Amino acid sequence: MICTIMAIASHTVAPTLRFFSYMEWVAFPIFAYLLAEGLDKTMSRGLYGARLLLFAALSEVPYDLMMSGRTMDYRQQNVLFTLFIGYIVILLVDLIRTKADNLVLTIAAEIGGLFFGRYLIAGLRCAYPRFAMAFIMLFYVARHVRYEKLMELIVTLVIAIYFSNQTFATPKINGLQYDLSVQFFAVIALLLIWGYSGERGSNKLIVRYISYGFFPVAILIFWYLSSQGVTY
């Protein structure tokens, strides 16, 4: 939640604090991991997807206000729509994996799902179109391989290198200068994910809806503060 708050603040009350915007690269891999975790552990996959879609819709007006100042702006949709699309894709891939019980078909479904999901996310102008589906598919696939953490680390580094477009530091080591991309903040997300115990959270309905409702409420609060001239 802290990373989410910092990312929201970077679009509202703290637009000049570049470090806050870097937190998107910590927050989204965690979202992607929890999505794959939810697919595996939810008691109702249908209700899980329905909740995602519901709160994606509820978050859209606050998100549009934050991004453009309009109550409705179809130029970009919020991250919960991204996660909903990703969820539907890995749900379909998982159905193919379990029903077909064939390695070749499973790999084909995973690759096809990766590109199809990326196409949908980009086509519907959802948040993080370039890398979102890569992280979602990574954490889904990694759950079914032997060396889960090694795969997560290698693929995360590949994603970070491939999408490198902004430098946050240029350290010198042995006289050589290296550019460190903000995308490498995704590795911090891995450390947090690896520290997760794997235990399910509270089953209480109110706790679930508070956790889902946190995103639109936080956006509204920070957007309101920004609209009142509160900035840093």
Question: What DSSP assignment string belongs to 107-169?
Answer: HHHHHHHHHHHHHHHHHTTBS-TTTHHHHHHHHHHHTTSSSHHHHHHHHHHHHHHHT---EEE
- The confidence band for 228, taking pLDDT boundaries of 50, 70 and 90, is confident
pLDDT at 197: 65
pLDDT at 76: 92
pLDDT tens readout for residues 69-121: 889 888 899 999 999 999 999 999 999 999 988 999 999 999 999 999 999 99
pLDDT tens readout for residues 137-194: 999 999 988 888 899 988 988 888 787 665 555 555 555 554 556 677 888 899 999 9
pLDDT tens readout for residues 124-141: 999 999 899 999 999 999
| Whether the predicted pLDDT of 210 surpasses 50 | yes
Q: What is the dihedral of CA 126, 130, 132, 136, to 10 degrees?
A: 130
Question: What distance lies between CA 56 and its chain's CA centroid?
Answer: 13
**Which ranges constitute the DSSP H helices of the chain?**
2-11, 18-22, 24-41, 45-68, 79-100, 103-123, 132-142, 148-162, 186-194, 205-227
pLDDT at 166: 59
CA angle 168, 24, 10 (to 5 degrees): 80
Of 43-57, 145-159, 194-208, least confident by mean pLDDT is: 194-208
| Whether the predicted pLDDT of 68 surpasses 70 | yes
pLDDT at 178: 47
How far apart are alpha carbons 123 and 160 in whole angstroms? 23
Residue showing tokens 């909740």: 51
